[in-house]
Structure 1
Amino acid sequence: MSFANSPLLRLQFVVFVALGLFGQVLFSVIAHFLDFDNRVCMLLYRGGYLCLCSYIVVYSFKESNKIFLRPFPISLFFFWFYYFMRLVWDSSVANVDLMLPIWEFFAWGFGSCFLPSLTAFVLSGRVIRQSNSAFLGIAGAFMLGTASILFFLINGFERVRFMLPNLNPINVSQSFMLLSLIGLSSVFWGSRSNRRIRALSFAVFFLALMMGAYAGSRGAMLSFAASCIVLIFLYFQSSFTFKRRKFFAVAGVLFASFFLFITFVLPSFFERINTSGFDANSIIRMMAFKESFDAFLGHPLFGAGFRLHLTLQENIYSGFSVWFPHNLIAESLGLGGMLLSVTLCCCLVLAFRNAYALSKSLEFESWRLSILVASFGFVLFSGHLSNIPLFWIAMGIAASPSDISAQKS
């Protein structure tokens, strides 16, 4: 039975993307609300998501195994193959003290990054529809809206950030910003003939933006701004002069409202934005970047391996629980050298090239490029290679070509 262009395939796509981009925030808040062990809840969530990914990949392989011989999945495979081989070598042969148990690196790397990215690649190109961004926006609004309601029921409105003991506000901010970008894309192109859907998409865009700012990640905000510029550029290329004037009028009101919101409602976040690049946190991260680059210069071909994390923890983050450079490129260079970084660059180039080409030919799919730009910006400021599922999922979505369903074995 073929599911190409079927309602079941579209449902799989919406569920897969929504769970990948917004699931962690929702289930972490639910676990806290029910006083349930967050670690167990995350294992159940990640395990269920892993089963969904495995089903989609296995079915896609049976239907069209040539899909897996395209440049992106090959580059993705070689990246993670070297990463895991270096992990095993450093822990078993070189006796490097890992900052996490080896099984956690494997679980996060394979189950939350590699397999979801591969799943996104084989699935997303088979679901090319104008309503994608609208349905994803509705699903995301339901999930993150539920999380927001539960959060405020738990904490009231006194908290200055959307954060819980087991939920990093950076991750929360990233999820809300991605939802906001999907909503904005739906406003521009998702359902031009349906004013109710466009009005709902605008509400999703604006409210998700406010909640993203409330979570208070400066890196997520900067990445969101870069993605908005990309979407506006694409919109101007496909719109008339009158629409551009309407856009500037609405955008001016939105910008003023958002500025007033963060100035008077979120003064601590506004102060942190003003001190970006000069506060202690920013300086430490720049020092970690330099340390990672020095490790690359010392081992340009193969990198310093997982000893990089130990070096950062001892020399830069002494006294803190952090041990990674908070920058995808720096960690890739320092940990795996040119061998790891070249494969990562191949994945990025393929994803950006395909997403831009798809946005030019099918403008309503521009949301794919926007979330890729945003997620790439996220990982330049936070996270480490095997613990950034949003980025790997977004890259797989962006790299998936529109003709993938036609590739038969």
Structure 2
Amino acid sequence: MSDLKPNSILIIGAGTWGCSAALHLARRGYTNVKVLDPHQVPSSIAAGNDINKIMEHKELKSPNADAGSIAFTTFTRAALQGWKTDPIFQPYFHETGFIVCGHTPELIEHIKHEEIDQLAGDYTALESADDFRNTMPPGVLTGDFPDWKGWISRSGAGWIHAQKAMVSAYNEARRLGVSFVTGSPAGGVTALIYENGDFVGAKTADGLSHRADRTILAAGAGSDALLDFEKQLRPTAWTLSHIRMTPEEAQKYRGLPVLFNIAKGFFIEPDEENHELKICDEHPGYCNFVSDPDRPGEKRSVPFAREQIPLEAERRAREFLRDTMPQLAERPFSFARICWDADTVDRAFLIDRHPGYPSLVVAVGGSGNGAMQMPAIGGFIADALEGKLCEEVRDVVRWRPEIAVHRDWWSTQNRFGGPNRVVDFQDVNENDWTHIVYTE
């Protein structure tokens, strides 16, 4: 494969990573970049189309840190710099702080050794219910926090308005000359174009072929339908819900640190426009397993969109609220949906030139941590395209099917909560979903 600068680049996917890649490529002077997506930006099914996502960062100072931790720190350090200094993203970062906690001895030990590096950051221990309550204004945290313990960090963490940041990246990329073809059928990719041993573009649902010198596959959980990832990706879904508050309540809840119990859930302060408080229950995830037409006898997880959540997820979210903010525990949900991402085997990103197809770059595998990388991830994707990914991340995020040969599709991947197992949507009955009524 020639390392000469390509004349044309095609990006499949206009979500968080696709928009970031388009922006960074345009900033590097690429003048023929096209992005395809079956949905308008922001896509209704993109994981990043969300009023807020957690931004958590710590400097890793442990001398025994493994390669994966070092790589993740490299990514998040670059992202944090972007959130703080890049005018395209800076308005959408809210450095309100972050609380990570658990409610059993096993979870608390896990946090100590896996979730935080106590040699780094400004972590302060929270040992009692009063400690938790005192992190926020009076009357916000009124729960008993039964057996909860945790830590709070006030700097370099909080939340991002993911939807606004994605639209900002999209608008700036367009201003710099990137062409976006969105909506179905014109932007709906049905297949990659394979010729002479390589992928040279994509076909869309309107029958057109879009050819390019290089193709970047960044379609999130949908990427698995367009390329054989040799079991490296597992589309996995989580659940989110909103409670609408009055303007006066929203003001009271303004500027709160994110509170995250690694086996119960988390909440993020209300957004400014709709005054909706976001609550997520925590669990190892849902998959939607169906027969794999390419591998007889095997199954694969196939994403689908739905603006409802299983009733069991609603119950978990309300249990979380009863522990923390019981005054809100019975409020009706104003919105809920399932949110898809793509898990790799080791939860490290997958950003690499495909070793078998010289013109194809894969940029997938957010594994639940993709949205907060938005300001900088496109630069790493551009580096992969140009063959110059930095040493700290290159080997960690490489194409690595050898670790997926015997993949356990049911692995919880070090996630906790709920039934402490992955649940198949095929086992959720139609009557076991919420029935939120949406009005204009």
TM-score, normalising length: structure 2: 0.28
Q: Which has the higher contact order (CA 8 A, sep 6+)?
A: 1
Bigger share in strand: 2
Bigger share in helix: 1
TM-score, normalising length: structure 1: 0.29
